[in-house]
Amino acid sequence: MTGRDTVESVDFRLATPDDYSVLEPMVVDGFEPITWVKMIDEKYGPLNGVDWRERWKKRFRGIFDSQTVLVGEIDGNIVACATGTLDAETKLGYIDILAVAPGEQGKGYGRTMLRGMLDHFRAHGAEHAHLECLVWNEAGNCLYRSEGFEEVARSIRWFVK
C-alpha cells in the first residue's frame, strides 16, 4: 500500500526484507525507555545470559516474519513503522508495534504512522482496532486517547525466576 499524508509528508509502504536492518535497531532503541522487558534484566539480570535487547531482537524477528509491517518514509528514509495483524472474520486489526526512530520522535510521525496503519487495516476490511500500551507510557496513551481509542482494561505483567 502506498499513499501520502500531506500534513506530515510521510509515505507509507509495506516493508521488504531489505528494510529489516533499519527497522530492528529503530524498534529496539525506540522501545528502550518504555519496555517492561528491560525491567527484568534490572531486577534479575539477563535470562540465561540473554539480555533484553537480544530478546527484543528475537521478538521483532518473529513479528517481522509473521505480521504486516508498514513503514513510514520521508525522502526515502524510514522514520517510523507499525506492525500488526488483521482478523478478517471479526474485522479486527491488532497493532502490535508502533515505533518512531529515536532521532525523529516528537515530530508527529507516531500519529501519522498510527493513522497509516489504521488506513491499511480499513483498506483490508477492518472495522475495529486494538492495541496495548503500558500505563507509564504517557506519550503513547495520550496519542491513542486523542485518536479516539478508549481504554477497556488494564493488565499486570507478572514474572518469576
**What is the pLDDT, as a whole number, of residue 158?**
93
- For residues 72-84, average pLDDT: 97
How many Cβ atoms from other residues are within 10 Å of residue 58's Cβ? 11
**What is the pLDDT, as a whole number, of residue 67?**
98
- pTM for this one? 0.91
**What is the pLDDT, as a whole number, of residue 5?**
40
DSSP 3: E
Can you tell me the distance from the alpha carbon of 91 to that of 27, in angstroms, rounded to the nearest whole number?
27
Q: What percent of the chain has pLDDT over 90?
A: 93
**What is the pLDDT, as a whole number, of residue 41?**
96
Asked whether the predicted pLDDT for residue 1 surpasses 50, the reply is: no
Asked whether the predicted pLDDT for residue 3 surpasses 50, the reply is: no
Q: Residues 91-132: pLDDT tens digits?
A: 999 999 999 998 999 999 999 999 999 999 999 999 999 999
> Listing from the earlier edge strand, what are the strands of the sheet with 128-131?
3-5, 10-14, 68-74, 77-87, 92-100, 128-131
Q: Residues 5-50: pLDDT tens digits?
A: 434 589 999 999 999 999 999 999 999 999 999 999 999 999 999 9
Which helix H or strand E contains 111, and what residues bound it?
A: helix 109-123
